[in-house]
Structure 1
Amino acid sequence: MKLTVVGGGSTYTPELVDGFARLRDTLPVEELVLMDPAQDRLDLVGGLARRILARQDHPGRITTTTDLDQAVDGADAVLLQLRVGGQAAREQDETWPLECGCVGQETTGAGGLAKALRTVPVVLDIADRVRRTNPHAWIIDFTNPVGIVTRALLRAGHKAVGLCNVAIGLQRKFAGLLGVEPPEVHLDHVGLNHLTWETGVRLGGPEGEDVLPGLLTRHGDRIAADLRLPRALLDRLGVVPSYYLRYYYAHDEVVRELGTKPSRAAEVAAMERELLTLYADPSLDGKPALLAERGGAYYSEAAVDLAAALLGGGGTPYQVVNTYNRGTLPFLPDDAVIEVQAAVGAKGASPLPVPSVDPLYAGLMANVTAYEDLALEAALHGGRTRVFRALLSHPLIGQYEYAEALTDRLIAHNREHLAWA
């Protein structure tokens, strides 16, 4: 089996490689290709990746290349984890929205739109080249904003599934609180990428006992503290929102906080420099502890599970993925991309039925889905008016003066990445 990672020079990659090494029985990888335009990063990451496999006696081989066509030729699956513009663009996404009093974040709000505009054309070009070279390969998208990028891929007819690590992180957290193994925990996970709620926590599978009420009663303070939301809010909701909901439920508080500290992008950039220095040490043959602070926890487990299921070799029967709605949530269009539990196999992902969704969540999902429609149109066709319409529709913006100012800033800061600007 051959897998290709586009963006293989990322400091995330050793986490992924460690997962492939540990979970070889689930996904027997013979060749892992790391593709990245940055040869210097490839050399460092590729060297550590080979040492990780050797330490764990994994028989597979690591190949590194800057040639995309060579990388995807013959691949069974292609994982996308790229960042167009690098951490420098991310820092801008997290900074200029604050000038207008709006959240500065790389996947949500105006910053998220900027990332989508930079990313969608690049990802579609990659996917087209994958299809020309190897039309049977699955594309697993971990590139943010996952919902919009996955929708672009599916609309263009590609064999694609979107992946996020929020659900698997919560599954692990709840398993620890309950004192059970993670596979015993099934989440009633519903929403859009980075806009999700856990409406049930079941033991044993989709039909298992819902232990969420007791979980909130016994551990609500800890869960609320992790989300940085009031315990009283969780009690009133009766569900567990993802930590991204804090941008909506506490927008002004978050804006004030972000204005008083360095951006997350600056922190990550410094962390990446340190990680790359560690990766250069020829004695290092495992992922360093610092990598856990980089983000992407449990990404490797989720990616291995998904790839194994898609390629027919195993994986758990139900997984949280991003895929077409197809009537699962009746208040959203069939071609909306939702993030829910799905049965995953060689034919792709089929969402499981979802019980009636509280209007409190359904309304916000519908609003953000409309924004994602407009964001994708702006990413595909460009133009200032399309950017303005997407920004005006976003529930974190919604005022024409903000949308006008943010449109000007977005275009000014991203001109080199926008073919139409």
Structure 2
Amino acid sequence: MSEPLKIAIAGLGTVGTGTVKLIQENLGLLTLRTGRAISIVAVSARSKKNRDFDMSDITWYDDAVTMAAESDADVVMELIGGSEGIAKEVVETAIAKGRHVITANKALLAHHGAELARKAEEAGVALAYEAAVAGGIPVIKGIREGLAANSFDLVYGILNGTCNFILSNMRETGRDFEEVLFEAQELGYAEAEPSFDVDGIDASHKLSLLASLAFGSEVDFDSVYIEGIRAISSLDIAYADELGYRIKLLGIARKTQDGIDQRVHPCMVPAEQPIALVEGVLNAVVCKGNHVGTSVFEGAGAGGGPTASAVVADLVDIARGTILPTFGIPAAKLEKAVSQPVETREGSYYLRLTVEDRPGVIADIAAILKREKISVKSLLQHESNPGKAVPLVITTQETVELAMIRALESISGLDCVLEKPNMIRIVSL
């Protein structure tokens, strides 16, 4: 049997603690599967409080960067989080010292992935990140290894369990966003400051990594179009049901002749499509390979156990001696991403307007749509309340998004339109 594989863990939050427990509980099984003993030799966290696992043979470090530099670990797990600061220092220090790195830090890789991948490959060490995308779902391995024979032009999915829980719960209960968000916070599905999740940033970090892996391009987080779910109301959820759709926050990356289109935003998805049926805190990723066709990955996208499972899956690879390029091909061969602006998107749209119920309103709106060459597919107005505010819902045939942007600006300026229009993109993937 080979020498034991020695591990240092930076960060003992939910994921770090879950990882220690998993390794200690399944140590015999991991040894059988890797042919190598695995030993946690060092840990570091913000406080040295009592931990719910055995630390008798583990060296404590007050400073994670010092641990990455000075411990005798073969592998450093960075489970701190954040795109800058100590997390980045830990990873850079570990690589410089010739240690393999496992991280669950999607923000770090979204902002510095190409640079860190180059450094890792130059040092001959792994930079592994299965846990950074879709929690316990083995989507990185699935695309990079299981589907390595394919080229891809589309990858998309539900990449944030908090948003999926909120939208699912709104549909099931008829409640509005703020009320369901509060429940998600009470249940621990959403942070006290939820912007990272509900404004689409977390999903965008993950999408940028999937796009790089699928398309062989440098990570380009700055080119992701980002729109969260705060504007989605219970009215939109109800109208979506009536029209045969469900609303999901999707991350969509598509490779076209004009560049890479990366976007995260609410979508109206036909209710019969598999992605529409993924509910609660679950995640799902769909990719389309040129030979395998469509592959769907679904499962737990967060939580201590599922994420620790993904962390240790990377550890098993390293213990077996499997060291692969971070994004599937050598970092030096990653193409510079050329972004495709969201304004060039062609598709259908849902519009919900709050209008004054009086003669001529629909004619005024129709005139603007006609001017922009936008055809109406359906129009819904259930309420009649002359002189008062009523919702008016319009769905369109396919058009260019730039035309929709111009039309919305003009519609917003009508004196009969009493609130900012809400637009949701209709997708069929």
- TM-score (normalised: structure 2): 0.36
- TM-score (normalised: structure 1): 0.37
Greater Rg, structure 1 or structure 2?
Answer: 2
More strand by share: 2
